[in-house]
Structures are given as structure tokens and as C-alpha cells.
Amino acid sequence: MMSSVEFYPVNNPIGDLVRSIFPEPVAVLINGLLALLSLMALVGSLGAVLIYLERKVSAHFQLRLGPMRVGPHGLLQAVADGIKAIFKEVLKPEGADTFIFFLAPLLPVSAAFLVLAVIPFDHHLQVADPAGGVLYVLGVSGLSVLGILLAGWASNNKYSLLGAMRSGAQMVSFEISIALLMLLIVMVSGTASLRGIVLSQQGTLFDWWIFKLPFLGIFAFVMYLIASTAELNRTPFDISEAESELTGGFATEYSGIGFAMFFLGEFVNMFVSACLVTTFFLGGFFPPLLGVPVIDPILSLIPGFLWFFIKAFAIIFIYMWFRWTFPRVRVDQLMYLEWRIMLPANLLLLLLSGLFVAQGWAG
Amino acid sequence: MSDFIFYLIAGIMVILSMLAVSLPNLLHGAVALVGSFFATAALYIMLQMEFLALAQIALYVGGIVIFMLIIILLTNDLGVDNSLSRVSLSRQVGKSAIIVGLVLSLFLFFKYNPSQLLTATHRAAPVSIDQIGIRLLSTTNGFIVPFEVISLLLLASLIGAVVLSRRDTKKEEK
């Protein structure tokens, strides 16, 4: 039988310090609380950072400067926006369902929280490492679809309902692609635990799954990027809140902190998705060693969590790049892309990588 | 401690399940159902059945409830209170009588026939995901035949769905 310490490896110096001071049951409690608090701090600060980044990136793509007034280079703009959102009056449309209307904005953020708990940021920087981590990620991310569907229904507004229905159909469809790609990674790395998947990519840059699987890795990576962009409801797949058609989709009726929660959920989910891409394809917390004896020790000096964040933010930049470059697709084009192109391609990819695994060509 | 947590989770589960079937608003019922699925998953975690808990969340919360919600949203006015969900007093009384009778008879049954479940649970080791996978696909001691039969069944239903939803192109041309 596994003890709870083995089950949830908080084996970093802070965890050991807490264990050396307090007796066993209290230490487990304190370590758990510390892990939760650090996740909360991460989510809270990420929201501000990502919103600032999005505004700056979009501005520079459009030859503007973006926020410049509040603080140096507008650094405090996100804080000001947050304070404004908190103090704004919360409006509820007439005939809306009170309970569900206020429950719905919480669900996407909770989904992001729950997934962050299993992300391996570094060797010992992971809240929990269940053996079926991939399954857990798939299951929990269903909560954000739930939140959007409930929000659309509870708002008592046709635009909201339409947006929610579109978004639900879109997210459920693209989740199939994401699940199949995750299955591919699980198949080639031989484990479903996220930490195990990262550990299976140990070595140089060419041991990451994006390069380790000849050709297939890059295809899988690109398809994962497309599918996760669609899953995140981001442009070019943001048909669920298409401003020109639906005035804002499922979030039409939300104001103040409710809208801010949806916004935060969207951004943190983007970070979570980038973390998953990093974990599955880009070697997680391993440095990009080149196999060159001069450079490698220098690269290894940088701690793992910094590498993880560098990779994750590179992926986030790609998501933002997509958003400010491509025009929005139509609903039917989106469904065509998933069911007629992505799904068969996914199945083919899975078959081929099965062949690779059976022949022992992969890793 | 673990007894206390068990009763807490079980109590939450029972209350949420009762709410799921008795709330007049279908959407509220669905939310209660999600809560009760999570509580069930928590119970599985307590039993160290990790895979079962994860499958519970992935299949029920991530899949089935979402489809239920989409169906409710597609159906006109079903989400709102309607006469279907109003049950007369005599039926309520009958319902509670049946529930009380069932609980009582279960209690009596286990009182006079002490079950082996508890000792069996104590003896059983927690099963890892790897073991489940190997057992499912092994040809000697496993469930490879049912597994393949189920996949064939799924394939058949997929093809059936495609055939049903396919538009007849010849008719549209006319």
C-alpha cells in the first residue's frame, strides 16, 4: 500500500523542511495547503501577466504600442483592470437562473486549477502525479465545457444560448482529436503519468517526442496545436463568441467579476494547454541539450522550471500569433476541419505510430 | 478520520443524488448529478481505485453530462419547470414508503446475513492502471475477446450514425 507521501511527491526542500518541523499528519496537511496556495498564486498572477502579454502582442502585431499609461510600459494595466472588474456592479438579467448564472463562471477556472495540479513544472514541483494523469486531464477539462453550456443557458438570452451551443459542439468535437493525440503520446512513451511522459524524453533535444518520432512527431505537434486552439475557443476558431455575429456569445450577459472570471479562465486554460504541449512534445522541464560538450553544461545550469516556463510561454506566443494573424472560420468549416480532416488524419497517425512502436523505431 | 470522511462524502453523495432526481428544474438536476459523480469519484479514491475514479470523471462528467446538457438545451422549454415534474401528494407518500421499506429491508438483511464484502475489500490490493491494461488485452488470462467485441459494436453504431445522419444527395437535387 502506498503512503500519501509517496502518492503526492512534495519532495522539494520546502516540503522536507515542513516534514522535519511538524509531525506526520500535520505536515501532510500543511504541505497540501502550501501546494494549493502556490497554485492559487500562480493562477492569480498568470491572469494578469497573460492579459498584459496578449494586449502587448496584439498591439505590436498591429503596429501599435498597446497599454503605456499605467506604470512603466503599462505594466500595471492588468492590475487596474482587475480592480475595476472587482468593484463593478454585478448585473443579472431578468429571468436568468440565479444559481447557475453565478455558478457557471467558476467552472472554467476550476478546471484550469485542477489540471495545474498534475502538471510537472520541475522534478519535484508537482502537486500530484496520478498514474492515469492523462485521463485525469481529459476528464477534468470537461468542466470548462460545462461552465460555458450552463452560462449560455442561464443567461436567458438567445445570443448566449447560441454561443454556448456552438462552443459546446466545437469543444466536444475537438476533444476527440486531443484525446487521440494524447493516446499517441501515451502509446509511444509507455506511461499515462505526466511525470513519466516527461521522464521518457530525457536526453538531448532530439529525444523530445516532437523529434524522436521521425516525421510523425512534428505532425502530431502541429495537429495538437490546431486542436487545442479550437478547444480553447481562440481565434481563428472563436465562433462561440464571434463579436460580429453573436455580440459576445455565452458571455454576453456577464459583467464585472463574472466576466472577469470567464476571461481569467480562458487565459489560464491557455497556459494549461501550453503546459500540456510542453509536457507531451517539448520535453517538459528538461533543457534543450544539443549534444555539444561546450554548450550543454551551460544549458543545464538553468533550473528545470525556468525551462518549462520558457517553453510554455513560447507556445503561448504561438497561440497569440494565430489569434492576430488568421481570420475567423465559419461554423461549417470548423466542423468540416475536425470530422473530415483532423479525425481521419489522427487515426492514420495513431496507426502509423502503432507500427513504429511495434517495430521499435520510436525511442 | 477516514470513517468521518467516508460518511461526509457518502452523505453529500446521497443528498446530491436525491436532488438530481427531485429538483423541478432539469438543469439544476444536471448540476447536482455532476456533484454526485465527483463525490462517487472521491469514494473510489478512498478505496484506492484510481483508475475507476478517473474513468468516472472522464466518462460521466466530461462526456455523458455534457451530452445530457446539450440535449436539454436543444429541447424547447424542458429545462424550465413544467407539469411533468410536479408529483401529487399520494405519489410522494408512496415513493417515500417504498424508499423507507427498501432501506429497512437492506438493513435487516445485512444485520442477519453479515456480508463478506468488508473482509474481501481488506484483502484486495489496489489495482494499478498497468495491470488493468495488461489484463484487458492479454490473450491467456484476459478479456481480449469481450474487448474486441465491444469495439466492433462501437464501430457498428458509428457506421449506423453516419448512415442515419447522411443526407440523401439525389433527393436534394430535385
Determine whether the interchain pair A143/B61 forms a contact, defined as Cβ–Cβ distance below 8 Å.
Answer: yes
On the question of a cis peptide bond just before residue A327, with omega within 30 degrees of 0, the verdict is no
Lowest mean pLDDT among A5-9, B67-71, B94-98: A5-9
- pLDDT confidence of residue B12: 93
Percent of chain A with pLDDT over 90: 4
Q: How many CB atoms sit inside 10 A of residue A326's CB?
A: 12
Q: If you compute the radius of gyration of chain A from its CA atoms, what whole number of angstroms results?
A: 21
Model confidence at B15, pLDDT cuts 50, 70, 90, reads very high
Query: What pLDDT band is residue A189 in, cutting at 50, 70 and 90?
Result: confident
Q: What's this model's pTM, rounded to 2 decimal places?
A: 0.85
pLDDT tens digit sequence for A223-239 = 999 998 888 877 787 77
Residue A5, pLDDT score: 40
- Measured between CB atoms, does B133 come within 8 Å of chain A? no
CA distances from A298 to A123, A194, A198, A211 (A): 19, 27, 21, 22
Report the distance separating Cα A315 and Cα A303, nearest Å: 19
Reported confidence tier of residue B171, pLDDT bands at 50, 70, 90:
low
- pLDDT at B52 > cutoff 50: yes
Q: Give the pLDDT score at B115.
A: 67
User: Who contacts A227 (Cβ-Cβ below 8 Å, separation ≥6)?
Assistant: A174, A177, A178, A181, A342
Residue A274 near residue A315, CB atoms below 8 Å: yes
CA A257 to chain CA mean position, Å: 22
In angstroms, the CA A175 to CA A170 distance is 8
**Which chain B positions have a beta carbon within 8 Å of A168's beta carbon?**
66, 69-70, 73
- Cross-chain residue pair A132–B65, CB shorter than 8 Å: no
So where are chain B's domains?
A: 1-80, 88-125, 128-167
Phi, then psi, of A148 in degrees rounded to 5: -70, -40
Query: How far apart, in whole angstroms, are the C-alpha atoms of residue A187 and residue A189?
Result: 6
CA distance A136 to A168: 20
- Mutate one of B48, B122, B129, B166 to test the A interface: name it (highest A CB count within 10 A): B129
Whether the predicted pLDDT of B87 surpasses 80:
no
Residue B98 pLDDT grade (very low, low, confident, very high; cuts 50, 70, 90): very high
Q: What is the pLDDT of residue B82?
A: 55
CA distance B95 to chain A (A): 28
DSSP designation for B85: G
- Tell if the CB–CB gap between B74 and A132 is shorter than 8 Å: no
Band (A117; pLDDT cuts 50, 70, 90): confident
The answer to whether A149 and B31 are in contact (CB under 8 A) is no
CA-wise closest residue to A174 among A28, A273, A66: A273
Question: So what's the architecture of B1-80 in CATH?
Answer: Up-down Bundle (1.20)
pLDDT at B153 exceeding the cut of 90:
yes
pLDDT band at B100 (very low <50, low <70, confident <90, very high): very high
Residue type, A7: F
Question: Is B66 close to A172, i.e. CB distance below 8 A?
Answer: yes
Of B66, B79, B130, the CB nearest to A146: B66
pLDDT for residue B41 is more than 80: yes
- ipTM (interface predicted TM): 0.78
What phi and psi, each to the nearest 5 degrees, are found at residue A8? -115, 90
Lowest mean pLDDT among A22-26, A268-272, B79-83: B79-83
How far B109 CA sits from the closest chain A CA (Å)?
Answer: 32
- Interchain CB distance below 8 Å, B73 and A161: yes
Please state, in angstroms and rounded to a whole number, the distance separating the CA atoms of residues A237 and A226: 9
Q: Nearest Cβ partner of B69 from A2, A132, A146? A: A146
Number of Cβ within 10 Å of residue A284's Cβ equals 29
Q: Which amino acid is at B168?
A: D
Cα–Cα dist B36/A104, whole Å: 17
Average pLDDT of every residue of chain A? 82
Q: Assign 3-class secondary structure to chain A.
A: CCCHHHHCCCCCHHHHHHHHHCCHHHHHHHHHHHHHHHHHHHHHHHHHHHHHHHHHHHHHHCCCCCCCCCCHHHCCHHHHHHHHHHHCCCCCCCCCCHHHHHHCCHHHHHHHHHHHCCCCCECCECCCCCCCHHHHHHHHCHHHHHHHHHHHHHCCCHHHHHHHHHHHHHHHHHHHHHHHHHHHHHHHHCCCCHHHHHHCCCCCHHHCHHHHCCCHHHHHHHHHHHHHHHHCCCCCCCCCCCHHHHCCHHHCCCCHHHHHHHHHHHHHHHHHHHHHHHHHHCCCCCCCCCCCCCCHHHHHHCCHHHHHHHHHHHHHHHHHHHHCCCCCCCHHHHHHHHHHHHHHHHHHHHHHHHHHHHHCCCC
Query: B62 — contact with chain A (CB < 8 Å)?
Result: yes
Question: Is pLDDT of A4 > 50?
Answer: no
Which pLDDT score, from 0 to 100, does residue B106 have? 87
Q: Is the dihedral of CA A160, A161, A165, A168 positive or negative?
A: positive
Length of chain A: 363
Nearest to B55 by CA among A24, A290, A134: A134
Give the confidence band of B77 by pLDDT, cuts at 50, 70, 90. low
Q: How far apart are CA A244 and CA A157, in angstroms?
A: 16
Contacts of A166 (CB under 8 A, 6+ apart): A239, A240, A246, A249, A331
- pLDDT at A14 > cutoff 90: no
Q: What pLDDT does residue A1 have?
A: 32
Is the pLDDT assigned to residue B133 strictly greater than 70? yes
Q: What is the mean pLDDT of residues A69-79?
A: 82
Q: DSSP class of residue B84?
A: G
Q: Which of A1-10, A25-34, A191-200, A273-282 has the lowest mean pLDDT?
A: A1-10
Q: Select from A26, A129, A153 the residue whose CB has the most chain B CBs within 10 Å, as the one to mutate to test that interface.
A: A153
Q: Please name the member of B58, B65, B74 whose beta carbon is closest to the beta carbon of A135.
A: B58
Cα B15 to Cα B130: distance, rounded to the nearest angstrom = 35
Does residue B38 carry a pLDDT above 70?
Answer: yes
A213-222, A342-351, B96-105, range with the lowest pLDDT? A213-222
For residue A103, the chain B residues in CB contact (below 8 A) are: 31
Which cell numbers hold the place of A153? Answer: 443557458
- Report in angstroms the alpha-carbon separations of A210 from A201, A217, A283: 10, 4, 9
Residue B48 touches chain A, beta carbons under 8 Å: yes
